[in-house]
Each structure stands twice: as structure tokens, then as C-alpha cells.
Amino acid sequence: MATLGPLRKELADSVSSCRVLVVGAGGIGCELLKNLVLTGFKNIEVIDLDTIDVSNLNRQFLFQKKHVGKSKAQVAKESVLRFCPSANITAYHDSIMNPDYNVEFFRNFQLVMNALDNRAARNHVNRMCLAADIPLIESGTAGYLGQVTVIKKGATECYECQPKPTQKTFPGCTIRNTPSEPIHCIVWAKYLFNQLFGEEDADQEVSPDTADPEAAWNPEETAARATASDQDGDIKRVSTKEWARSTGYDPVKLFNKLFKDDIMYLLTMDKLWKKRKAPVPLDWAEKAVIMCSEISQDEVCGTGLKDQQVLSLGGYSQLFQHSVETLRSQLDERGDGAQLVWDKDDPPAMDFVTAAANLRMHIFSMSMKSRFDVKSMAGNIIPAIATTNAVIAGLIVLEALKILNSDFQQCRTIFLNKQPNPRKKLLVPCALDRPNPNCYVCASKPEVTVKLNVHKTIVQALQDRILKEKFGMVAPDVQIEDGKGTILISSEEGETEANNNKFLSDFGIRNGSRLQADDFLQDYTLLVNVLHCEEMPRDVEFEVVGDAPEKPPSAPEEEKSIANGNKDAAQPSTSSKDDDVLLVDSDEEPSSSTTDVSTEAGSLKRKLHDAETGESASKRKRLDQQTADDDDDIIALD
């Protein structure tokens, strides 16, 4: 049998001629690109919207200090070509959700490999691969945990076939520039605590991210920033803590800097706000002080049931002032160079995070949260681990080789665990599951039932909260099945904007109405059955029947179903090791949804499925004890 290096000649030829799309050039992406060229892949296209930040340099080894501020995809291409100059690599500094990357674009490839850090993009790539009928290798990491799986139309579960826990990791530019959920503001507030009072960390920057690729930099400015990065790596910056010390930790100056000046600077990045609601700066003199006059001092320092009260803007402004003064006193008592450690059970620290997070929520037009709610959400940031990324990237390539070798039956979902299972293995392979017949993405006729109040739900909420946020559509068109073909929502700009603030009932939508939602980019159609409910639970805008409540407990967000013009696929993964892939002894290989390969991985596998977190519902149970110890960490997933 002829061989070429470690591969049979036929397989080596397939590898050399195969066109591969890599989505993401971050922690996993850097390792993956290196592995691909060293394995013999010659035709690679890589896409990433992000730019290189200082905090990336500790694990994304294709980047150096001189590259800070530049495109990850472009620099990754240049660095990888040094391993294999003959490789044909195309880099795109862009979002994979751009309409330019349509189904026809995906059909140009034999394999797609995800190395993403957010669920929205994962959902989108899942649907595009289903529509194009191209195998997708999904992956993800969370600290020491990892998972890799293969998704193939009609043969395996797709990424959205099973519910996933609420995402716990978020891109830096989301935290710093464009928060859209309360958790983004809570993470920002925890970072701010460390920047002001604790140990400063480049990974926890809170100032506006000027390198955000979505911002409105023109080409000249971009070139100038890249030049500056070459010179000093954009690393010469004023320390947030030093600035705060120079003001004597003046609460009013801190307030105006964080909630007025920084927000006004964000507003200059006008491109960010073309499709988002712009933030509204707060000024201590104009708003906070006036509102504070309406608050009693008791409202600020309440305990017990008061922890479950949502204060006014003035109340949180006073709480911010009070907590900063208390933390400043603690630093003074400890002497020069002292640092505080954030602890959710330390009242002043918790007060500070509660106040700062809620003020930011108000600025970005979100409903503010009680101290109790903030405390329950403020834990769990898990650091990214370079070796986990390396192991997962190795597994991705191994699964790719099986597919190119026409050996799909040997493909597995592989989990990388923190502790060995009873069989002394860190890597646990599981058989791929069949598609979920009720999946709202890959079922033959995707259909869901949504419970809501048609007299209180506006068209804008249907589009943004339900179709885009819940069901992952990018540009939905919605038609009412009323015999007239009434167009409720059009993806064409300006066509139905007049409908946005009208209630669904204004269009004759009532209990039992059916809406057809189409996303032509994703080649995906979803039939939505409306179930009218006069009294929805408190703070719940809608519920997907059979799904967990939308707002309250963080339950699987993508449980029900959506469909991509093409149906099928498997679930996401996040996985394991490099060469020791444990190509599983058949008798040891459980199905990802049935067998119990150990309390750590068996039942764990199936729901573990969240590629963003690398853990699933079952796995979470297993990890609860560990998490209790690492309560303070927030998942920073590559």
C-alpha cells in the first residue's frame, strides 16, 4: 500500500486537493490552521471578524506583539505560510454572517471547520452547512474541558438539535462596546472591580474597544492603527487603576468617566449603532444627583428581602458612590500597593458590581436587575487554556481525515474531561446521534408553537427577540397565513418599518394564527403557531411551548426547532486531545445519547453539547462541585 508520509497516498491526495473553510482564527483556529498545513492541506480559506488584542498573545501563538490591532485572519494566514509556503490560503477579515457568504459560497468546500466563540455564529454556520449539504466539524473549549463532533445532513444531530445551557462566554468587544444582555454588563462590572481595586488583567479591559472591527474606522485610520501596532503593539496605555488613584477614587469623577465620557466615545463609532439602539450617556450632575434626591439612604444599603428589589437609577447611582467610598477606605487601610479580591459574599464588592452593572444596563436600554439577580449571575468565568485548544484542534483534523477517507462511520463526538473517568481516560469518544425529528432547524418541516400575548407583543419584538435572538434568524421575512398573504416583516430595508411598533393583534393575529418566517440567506423556513395567553408570567415576553421559560431561569435557549432549507446534522462539541484520539475500541464506545461512559462523560456527552461552554446539562451537574470552587471565574471560551 503506497504511503505519503504517515498517510496512504489516496488519502494524502484527497487532503492535498480538499478545499477547507475554517471559521475563526482565535485560540482553536490558530492551532487548527497550523495542524492543517502540517498535515498536508493545501487549499484553506479562513474567516474571522476579530482583530488581535494584547490578551490574545498568551495562547494564540500565530500572533506577536507587533500584530496587535491587525486582522486575526490575515496575520494567521501570513504566520501559517511560514510553516508551508506552498499552501494556498485565503483570508477574510469579515463576519461569516455577511450575506456575501451564502449557500453557494459554502458549496465551494468539501469540509467546514468551526473554531468559533459565540453561539449565534455557530447556529448560522450549522444552518449554512445543512443548506449546502457540506460536513461540518464543530468544536469548543471551556477551561480544561473540550468537545469535538461531526455534523452531517441527514446522518447526525445538528448543532441545534438539543437544548444548550445559557452561554457563559462573550467576545471582548461585546463586553466593552455593544452589550445586549444583563450578563454582559455584569461581566463588565466585575472586570471594572479588578481594574480599579484588584489585580489588573489585560483580558479584563473595560474601556471602549477601539479595535472593534465593527467600528467606523476608515481605511486610512485602519492603516495608521496597524502602523502604530507595529511600533509599540498598542500596549502603551494609561492604567485604569493609576488614573483612579490620581482622582483619589472620586466617585463622581469615576461615574462621569465610565458612564458619560466612555459612552460618548462609543457613540463616535457610528457604524456600531446603525442596526442597534445607541446607548444614552449618564451625567452625574444632570441625572444622578436629581434622582438621588428622591431616594432615602436606606434604599441603598438594604439587606434581606431588599436584595430582591430593583432600585431606581438614582438608587444605583447612590449605591455606586457609597460602594466606591467603602472600597477606597479598605484600600487605604491596607496600605500602598494593596489589592482587593472580588468576592460575591463581600457586601461592598457586591454592591459595587450591582451598581455599576445596573447603571450600564440602563445606558444600553436593558431592564435593571436586583442585587439578588446580579449575585446569582456574577460567577463563573473560566480562563482559556492553550493546551485544551491544542488538543481540540488535533481532534478536529483527525475527524477530518476520517471524512476524507470515506470512513464516516468511524467519526465520533469526543469529550475532553478535566479528570480521568473510571477507565482512566481523559478523552471519551461517543457515537454520533441521529437527527432529532423535532429539531426546529433540521426537521423536514420545521414548526414551533410560541405562547405570547398578541395585545402586548409588538412586531419589533417578534423580529428581534423571537425570530432573531431565540430562533437564530439573520434577516427574517414573515408572512401571515391569513389567505391574503399579508407581509408582516420584510428583510428589505424600509418596506415594513411602519409595522415595527404595532401590536400583533393589530394585524388580526390571534390564538391559532400561523406565521411563515423565511430566512433566504440561511435557506431556512420556520412555521410559527401563535398561542395567545392573556397573562404571561412576570418578566416573560414569550415562551416556546415545550421549551423552558424564555427569561427566568437560564434554560436551554435553542431547544425547540428551526430549519435550514436542508435538514440534518449533529451537535456541537468541544473536545479532546491531539493524537491520542482514542479511536475508540468499539466495545468501549457509547452513543452520545445513551451509554454511560462514566458519570463524567457518558450522560454528560449528549447534553454536554454546548460548544460554547463545552458542557451540557448533565455535565454541568457533574461539574457543580468544581464550579463551586471556581465560582468567580467567567467562561472565556475560544
Name the 3-class secondary structure at 175: helix
Q: Is 158 annotated as a binding residue?
A: yes
C-beta atoms surrounding 151 within 10 Å: 32
Tell whether residue 585 is among the known ligand binding residues: no
Residue 96 annotated as part of some ligand binding site: yes
Cβ–Cβ under 8 Å, residues 612 and 440: no
Cβ neighbours of residue 336 closer than 8 Å, sequence gap 6 or more: none
Q: Is 546 exposed, middle or buried (0-12, 13-18, 19+ CB in 10 A)?
A: exposed
Residue 26 assigned to a binding site? yes
Give the angle subtended at the CA of 29 by the CAs of 103 and 399, to the nearest 5°: 75
Is residue 57 annotated as involved in ligand binding?
yes
95 labelled binding-site residue: yes
How far, in Å, CA of 470 to CA of 558, rounded? 7
Q: What is the Cα gyration radius of the chain?
A: 25
How far apart CA 229 and CA 236 sit, in angstroms, is 10
Q: Could you tell me if 527 and 516 are in contact, meaning their C-beta atoms sit under 8 angstroms apart?
A: yes
82 is in an annotated binding site: no
**Chain-centre distance for alpha carbon 381:** 13
Total residues found in the chain within this entry: 638
For residue 72, what is its C-alpha cell? 486575526
The sign one gets for the Cα dihedral 242, 631, 395, 137 is: negative
User: Is 343 assigned to a binding site?
Assistant: no
43 is in an annotated binding site: no
Question: Do the annotations mark residue 442 as ligand-binding?
Answer: yes
Orientation of helix 313-334 relative to helix 182-197, angle to 10°: 30
Could you confirm whether 18 is annotated as catalytic?
A: no
Q: Is 48 annotated as a binding residue?
A: yes
Q: Which of 18, 30, 129, 173 does the annotation list as catalytic?
A: 173
Sign of torsion, CA 314 319 322 328?
negative
Estimate to the nearest angstrom the gap between the alpha carbon of 324 and the chain centroid: 31
Residue 500 annotated as binding? no
610 is in an annotated binding site: no
The answer to whether 9 is annotated as binding is no
Is 328 assigned a ligand-binding role in the annotation?
no
30 is in an annotated binding site: no
Is residue 18 a known part of a binding site? no
89 is in an annotated binding site: no
Nearest Cα residue to 613 out of 174, 182, 140, 172: 140
Q: What amino acid positions are annotated as catalytic residues?
A: 173
Binding residues, as ranges, are 24-29, 48, 56-59, 72, 95-96, 117-122, 158, 161, 439, 442
Residues annotated within the binding site for Zn(2+) are 158, 161, 439, 442
Question: Which residues does the annotation place in the binding site for ATP?
Answer: 24-29, 48, 56-59, 72, 95-96, 117-122
